[in-house]
C-alpha cells in the first residue's frame, strides 16, 4: 500500500461526480437508485454507471458503489439481479453492510470486491478481523475512533482501513441508531433517516439542539493519518452539491500532495481558506482529534448546513428584502433555518434586485437586496447558502461520453435468480412444528434466579465487566448451565478487546457454551459454534432481515438468529414460508436504546426530555457513553397468537436494556403468558411496510409501574479469575 492514502470523494449526482474527478479525487463512491444508504440522493442507474466507469478509469479514478442498505426479505430477487449486473460492470468495489450481500458475493459473485460499510459498526480490531474473514478487503471504521485507536487496529489486522476525514457527523454510532425508524418507520440502516437528532428538544426550562453535531474536519490531522497507514480518507457528502464537493476535494488534495513539512504548512493554510468558503456546520476534529462533546455538539444551533449568507428583513408578496451577510448570486441555493431544527427545503435564487428594483447578478456583503421567492419566508429568518450554480448535467454527460464513448455492456443475472433464491428460500415443510422456545435476557445477576426458574429455555446475562466478574465467583447447577448464556455488549472499545477475549476463553473453558453475538467482532472473541459444543445465537444488533443473511450467520456457527428489531409483519409473513438454516427468533419485548453515542449531551442525564412533537426520551450514561431510550417498551405480546399462527416458535424477551425505571421481570413474564402488556407500549415497525412511515406504531395504555433496576457491582478489590492480558504496545504517532 502507498504511504499516501487514497482520497475518496462522494457523488450523489453526475455534477458532484464530475467535480470530484476534476478536483483530484483518487476514487469516488456513489449509489444506485436502490440499496444505498442515501436513498434521497439523486443516485445513478446501472446504465449511467456503465457510462461512468470507462471515463473514471481513463482518468485513473476508482469507482466504488455503495450498496450499503439493509436488505429486507422481499428484495432478495432484485438484489441478485443487481449483483449480477454489477459483476458484469466490475466496479472497483462495493461498499456493503448486509450479511446477505457478503454471503452472495463470496459464493455467487466472487469477482466483486467488497468493502465493509461503517454501518457494519466496526469499532475494534476484532470486528475488522471478522469482516475480513467474511470477504471484506477493506473496512470503513466507525467515526467514533481516535487516531490512537485506529493505529492499534492497524497494528492488529491486515485489512485495508478507511476513515472519515470530513463531512457530517451522526450523533449515534452508525449501525446502532434506531431513532428515525422507531419514531416514523424511516430506517437509517436503509438510507431513509429523517435526522431526529437535529431537532430542538426541551428538558424543563432548558431547550436546545442537544444532540445536533457539527461537521468533521480532519484537515490538520492529514499528516498524522498519512503516517498511521490508513488506506483511504473518506469525505462524507452524497447529499452535497457539486460546488461543495469540488472545494473540499481540492482542499484535501493540496495537503495530501505536500511532500515536505514546509509545503504541508503552506498547503494547510491555503486549504483552510478554501474550506472557509464552503457551506458547513461548525467544524471540529471530531473523535479523530479527541474533541469532546462540547466541541462536537452544537446545542445553541440547529446544525443547519451552509454558510449564513443573509437574513430576511421583510416580505411583500413574492419579493423578499434581505440583509446580505455574504455575497449572494443568481442561481445560488439558499435554505432557511428552521427554529425546530429540521433543515427546510432549499430554493434557487432565480432573480435578484437592488434597492431601485434593477435586476442584478449578485448582491455584496453589507448591502440590502430583493430576491424573488415563492417559498413562504418570515422576517428574521436566516438564509444559508448550500450551493452555487454548477455546470448543467446534460453538458457533463456529453463531455463524459465524448471522452469515453464506449460504455460497458450490462449482463443480466435474471436466469440465475431462481437457482440462487431456491438455495436460500426453500418452502417450509408442511406440518413441521418446533417446540416453543422462550429466550430471556437480563442485565443484573440478581435477576438470574428468577429468570432461570422461569419457563425460558435460554437465559442471557449482559456480559459487562462487572457482571462477568460477579458470576465468575458463583456456582451453577448442570441444569442452570444448560440454560445460561452470556450476551456480549454491542460496543467493546479497542482497549478492552484483550480483556473480553481472555474472559470469553475462561468462561468457555468453564462450560459456559451459550453466547449471544451482537457485533461482528464477537465471532473473533468466541470462535465458531457450528460443529462443536459452542452454541451461538445471532443477536438483533446484527440487523438480519433476509434469508441470505441468515445463511451467512449459520455458516459462522449460529444455530439461531434473532430478527432485526426493525422487522415488519410483512417480512415475518414472507420469512414464515421459508425453510431457513438458522432458526429464527422474534423479539416480543424490549426497550432498546434509540441513540447510542460516545457523546454525553448537555442534559440532566437522570431526567426525561421532549421533542417538538412531545415525544419523551430518557437519557442515561453507561460505560462512558450515552444511551437514550423511548418512554415505552416495544411489545408484541398482543401479537403472539398471530406470530404462532404464522409458525414462529422462538420468542425473545429482553428485560435488561432500558432506563432505570422499568417493570420487573415477573411483570414482563406475566404479560408474555397472558399475551397482554401493561402500560403504554410501541409495536415499532410491526404494522408498517418495510419502507413506510404512515402507519402508527405507539399504543397508549395506563402508565406502567416502574421499578429501580438492580445493578451488580463486584466486591471492592476483586479481580477476574482469567489471566490479565499482557500490556500492548503500539507505535506512537509522530
The confidence band for 419, taking pLDDT boundaries of 50, 70 and 90, is: confident
What pLDDT does 432 receive?
61
The confidence band for 729, taking pLDDT boundaries of 50, 70 and 90, is: very low
> CA angle at residue 463 from 728 to 657, to 5 degrees?
130
**Model confidence pLDDT, tens digit, residues 545-582:** 999 999 999 999 999 999 999 999 999 999 998 888 78
Strand partners, 516: 487, 537
Cα–Cα dist 707/475, whole Å: 28
Residue 233: name the closest of 245, 243, 219 by CA.
219
What sign results for the dihedral spanned by CA atoms 596, 602, 606, 607? negative
Check if 6-169+214-299+393-403 and 434-591+633-691 are the same fold: yes
Cα–Cα dist 444/511, whole Å: 20
Top-confidence residue, 522 or 721: 522
DSSP string, 535-585: EEEE-GGG---SHHHHHHHHHTTEEEEEPPTT--HHHHHHHHTEE-SSEEE
686: which DSSP letter?
T
The confidence band for 692, taking pLDDT boundaries of 50, 70 and 90, is: very low
What sign results for the dihedral spanned by CA atoms 590, 591, 594, 598? negative
Classify 316 as helix, strand or coil: strand
**Cell, residue 406:** 464506449
8 Å CB contact between 472 and 721: yes
Classify 396 as helix, strand or coil: helix
Cα–Cα dist 275/233, whole Å: 16
Residue 727, judged by CB atoms within 10 A of its CB (0-12, 13-18, 19+), counts as exposed
What pLDDT does 704 receive?
35
Residue 612: name the closest of 173, 219, 13, 209 by CA.
209
What is the average pLDDT across 193-220?
A: 94
Query: Is 60 exceeded by the pLDDT of residue 695?
Result: no
**Model confidence pLDDT, tens digit, residues 578-631:** 888 789 999 999 999 999 999 999 999 989 999 999 999 999 998 889 999 999
**CA of residue 235 relative to chain centroid, distance:** 16
**Model confidence pLDDT, tens digit, residues 276-335:** 888 888 999 999 999 999 999 999 876 666 788 999 999 987 789 999 999 999 988 898
What pLDDT does 61 receive?
98
694: which DSSP letter?
-
Q: Are strands 593-597 and 583-590 parallel, antiparallel or unpaired?
A: unpaired
Query: Is 50 exceeded by the pLDDT of residue 734?
Result: no
Strand partners, 562: 585
What pLDDT does 339 receive?
62
**Model confidence pLDDT, tens digit, residues 164-204:** 999 999 999 999 999 999 998 999 999 999 899 999 999 99
8 Å CB contact between 288 and 216: yes
**Model confidence pLDDT, tens digit, residues 21-78:** 999 999 999 999 999 878 777 899 999 999 999 999 999 999 999 999 999 999 998 9
**CA of residue 68 relative to chain centroid, distance:** 10
- The CATH number of the structural domain formed by 434-591+633-691 is 3.20.20.380
Classify 484 as helix, strand or coil: strand
DSSP H helical ranges for 427-513: 448-453, 465-471, 478-483, 497-509
- The CATH number of the structural domain formed by 6-169+214-299+393-403 is 3.20.20.70
Cα–Cα dist 605/203, whole Å: 10
Q: How many CA atoms lie within 13 Å of 531's alpha carbon, on the beta-carbon side?
A: 5
What pLDDT does 415 receive?
67
What is the average pLDDT across 665-680?
A: 96
State percent of the chain over pLDDT 70.
91
Q: Are strands 484-487 and 458-462 parallel, antiparallel or unpaired?
A: parallel
Domain boundaries, the chain: 6-169+214-299+393-403, 189-212+594-632, 307-387, 434-591+633-691
What is the average pLDDT across 158-163?
A: 94
Top-confidence residue, 567 or 260: 567
Query: Is 70 exceeded by the pLDDT of residue 1?
Result: no
- The CATH number of the structural domain formed by 307-387 is 2.40.30.10
Q: Residue 249, by phi and psi: left (phi above 0), alpha (psi -120 to 50) or beta?
A: alpha
Residue 488: name the closest of 468, 458, 509 by CA.
468
Top-confidence residue, 536 or 387: 536
DSSP string, 256-277: HH--SHHHHHHHHHHHHHHHHT
**Model confidence pLDDT, tens digit, residues 110-139:** 999 999 999 999 999 999 999 999 999 999
What is the average pLDDT across 149-171?
A: 95
Amino acid at each position: 500500500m502507498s504511504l499516501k492514502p487514497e482520497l475518496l470523494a462522494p457523488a450523489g449526482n453526475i455534477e458532484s461526480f464530475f467535480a470530484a474527478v476534476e478536483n483530484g479525487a483518487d476514487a469516488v463512491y456513489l449509489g444506485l437508485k436502490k440499496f444505498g444508504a442515501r436513498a434521497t440522493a439523486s443516485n445513478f442507474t446501472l446504465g449511467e454507471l456503465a457510462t461512468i466507469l470507462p471515463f473514471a478509469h481513463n482518468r485513473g479514478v476508482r469507482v466504488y458503489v455503495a450498496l450499503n442498505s439493509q436488505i429486507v426479505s422481499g428484495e432478495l430477487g432484485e438484489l441478485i439481479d443487481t449483483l449480477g449486473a454489477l459483476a458484469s460492470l466490475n466496479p472497483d468495489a462495493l461498499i456493503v453492510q448486509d450479511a446477505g450481500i457478503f454471503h452472495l458475493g463470496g459464493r455467487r459473485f466472487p469477482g466483486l470486491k467488497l468493502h465493509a460499510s461503517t454501518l457494519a459498526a466496526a469499532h475494534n480490531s476484532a470486528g475488522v478481523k471478522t469482516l475480513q474473514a467474511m470477504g471484506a478487503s477493506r473496512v470503513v471504521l466507525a467515526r467514533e475512533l481516535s487516531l490512537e485507536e485506529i493505529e492499534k487496529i492497524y497494528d492488529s489486522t491486515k485489512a485495508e482501513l478507511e476513515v472519515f476525514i470530513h463531512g457530517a457527523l451522526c450523533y449515534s454510532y452508525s449501525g446502532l441508531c434506531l431513532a428515525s425508524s422507531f419514531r416514523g418507520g424511516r430506517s437509517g440502516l436503509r438510507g431513509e433517516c429523517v435526522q431526529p437528532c437535529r431537532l430542538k428538544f426541551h428538558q424543563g426550562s432548558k431547550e436546545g439542539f442537544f444532540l445536533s453535531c457539527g461537521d468533521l474536519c480532519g484537515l490538520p490531522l492529514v499528516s498524522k493519518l498519512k503516517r498511521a497507514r490508513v488506506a483511504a480518507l473518506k469525505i462524507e457528502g452524497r447529499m452535497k452539491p457539486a460546488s461543495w464537493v469540488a472545494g473540499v476535494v481540492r482542499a484535501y488534495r493540496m495537503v495530501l500532495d505536500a511532500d515536505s513539512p514546509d509545503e504541508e504548512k503552506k498547503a494547510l493554510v491555503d486549504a483552510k481558506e478554501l474550506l472557509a468558503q464552503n457551506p458547513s456546520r461548525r467544524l471540529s476534529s471530531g473523535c479523530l482529534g479527541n474533541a469532546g462533546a462540547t466541541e462536537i455538539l452544537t446545542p445553541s444551533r440547529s446544525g443547519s448546513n451552509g454558510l449564513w449568507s443573509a437574513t430576511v428583513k421583510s416580505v411583500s408578496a413574492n419579493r423578499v428584502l434581505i440583509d446580505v451577510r455574504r455575497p449572494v448570486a443568481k442561481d445560488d441555493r439558499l435554505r432557511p433555518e428552521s427554529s425546530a431544527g429540521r433543515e427546510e427545503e432549499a430554493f434557487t435564487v432565480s432573480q435578484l434586485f437592488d434597492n431601485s428594483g434593477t435586476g442584478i447578478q449578485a448582491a455584496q456583503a453589507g448591502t440590502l437586496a430583493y430576491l424573488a421567492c415563492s417559498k413562504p419566508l418570515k422576517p428574521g429568518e436566516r438564509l444559508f447558502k448550500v450551493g452555487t450554480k454548477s455546470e448543467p448535467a446534460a453538458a457533463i454527460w456529453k463531455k463524459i461520453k465524448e471522452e469515453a464513448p464506449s460504455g460497458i455492456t450490462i449482463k443480466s443475472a435474471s436466469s440465475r435468480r431462481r437457482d440462487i433464491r431456491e438455495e436460500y428460500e426453500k418452502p417450509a415443510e408442511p406440518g413441521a412444528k418446533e417446540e416453543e422456545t422462550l429466550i430471556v435476557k437480563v442485565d443484573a445477576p440478581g435477576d438470574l434466579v428468577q429468570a432461570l426458574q422461569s419457563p425460558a429455555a435460554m437465559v442471557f446475562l449482559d456480559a459487562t465487566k462487572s457482571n462477568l466478574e460477579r458470576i465468575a465467583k458463583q456456582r451453577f447447577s448442570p441444569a442452570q448451565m444448560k440454560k445460561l448464556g452470556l450476551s456480549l455488549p454491542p460496543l467493546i472499545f479497542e482497549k478492552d478487546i484483550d480483556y473480553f477475549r481472555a474472559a470469553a476463553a475462561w468462561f468457555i473453558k468453564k462450560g459456559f457454551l451459550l453466547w449471544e453475538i451482537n457485533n461482528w467482532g464477537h465471532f473473533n472473541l468466541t470462535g465458531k459454534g457450528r460443529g462443536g459444543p459452542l452454541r451461538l445465537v445471532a443477536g438483533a444488533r446484527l440487523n438480519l432481515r433476509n434469508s441470505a443473511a441468515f445463511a451467512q450467520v449459520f455458516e459462522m456457527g449460529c444455530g439461531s438468529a434473532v430478527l432485526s428489531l426493525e422487522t415488519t409483519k410483512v417480512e415475518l409473513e414472507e420469512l414464515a414460508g421459508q425453510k431457513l438454516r438458522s432458526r429464527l427468533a422474534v423479539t416480543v419485548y424490549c426497550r432498546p436504546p434509540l441513540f447510542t453515542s460516545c457523546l454525553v449531551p448537555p442534559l440532566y442525564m437522570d431526567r426525561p426530555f421532549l421533542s417538538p412533537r412531545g415525544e419523551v426520551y430518557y437519557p442515561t450514561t453507561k460505560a462512558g457513553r450515552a444511551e437514550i431510550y423511548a418512554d415505552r417498551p416495544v411489545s408484541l405480546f398482543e401479537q403472539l397468537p398471530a406470530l404462532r399462527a404464522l409458525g414462529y416458535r422462538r420468542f425473545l424477551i429482553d428485560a435488561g436494556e432500558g432506563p432505570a425505571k422499568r417493570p420487573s421481570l415477573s411483570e414482563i413474564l406475566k404479560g408474555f403468558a397472558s399475551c397482554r402488556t401493561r402500560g403504554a407500549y410501541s409495536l415499532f415497525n410491526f404494522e408498517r411496510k418495510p419502507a413506510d412511515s404512515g402507519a402508527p406504531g405507539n399504543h397508549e395504555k395506563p402508565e406502567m409501574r416502574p421499578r429501580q433496576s438492580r445493578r451488580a457491582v463486584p466486591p471492592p478489590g476483586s479481580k477476574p479469575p482469567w489471566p490479565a492480558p499482557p500490556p500492548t504496545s503500539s507505535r506512537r504517532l509522530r
